[in-house]
Amino acid sequence: MWIDLLRWAHVIGATVLLGTGAGIAFFMVMAHRTGDVKLIAHTAGIVVVADWVFTASAVIIQPITGILLAKSIGWPIMHGWVLWSLILYVLVGLFWLPVVWMQQQMRDLARNAMLNGHVLPTRYFKLYRIWFACGFPAFFAVLGIVWLMISRPVL
């Protein structure tokens, strides 16, 4: 029963990480493509809240449930696929933390432009390009983690 509960919580956390990450990226990209400062400011505000509410919660839950699950089942944490999952998890975090900061900056820049009747500043576009580029390695690393969790290959 305990292991089933841990598995369930861990799968829910992985689903939230993958789904929220993909959803946030989609909505931010679609808002950006409109060029509408008001829409970008509004969407960026929602994206920041969603990242803190959903992604941050899952980021905390995943290692806790994963370590408890591995220990309960007897999987060695510092070996094989579990270790590679942890390495990829750290990689995702190295991209996610700056991305959250960039989203907040883009939100603030868009809000200021909207409130002052200005166009988006050059800094917004620079942050957006970096934000966009950071999404690819983080997304593929999460996909890799999910694959490792499902296949549990002997490494």
Q: Where do the structural domains in the chain lie, given as residue ranges?
A: 2-151
138 within 8 A of 99, measured Cβ to Cβ: yes
- The rounded distance, in Å, linking the Cα atoms of 15 and 58 is 9
What is the pTM assigned to this prediction?
0.91
Using one digit for the tens of pLDDT, what is the confidence trace for 74-127? Answer: 999 999 999 999 999 999 999 999 999 999 999 999 999 999 999 999 999 999
Alpha carbon dihedral 69, 67, 52, 105, in 10-degree steps, equals: -140
Using one digit for the tens of pLDDT, what is the confidence trace for 46-81? Answer: 999 999 999 999 999 999 999 999 999 999 999 999
Q: How many CB atoms lie within 10 A of CB 143?
A: 12
* pLDDT for 155 beyond 90: no
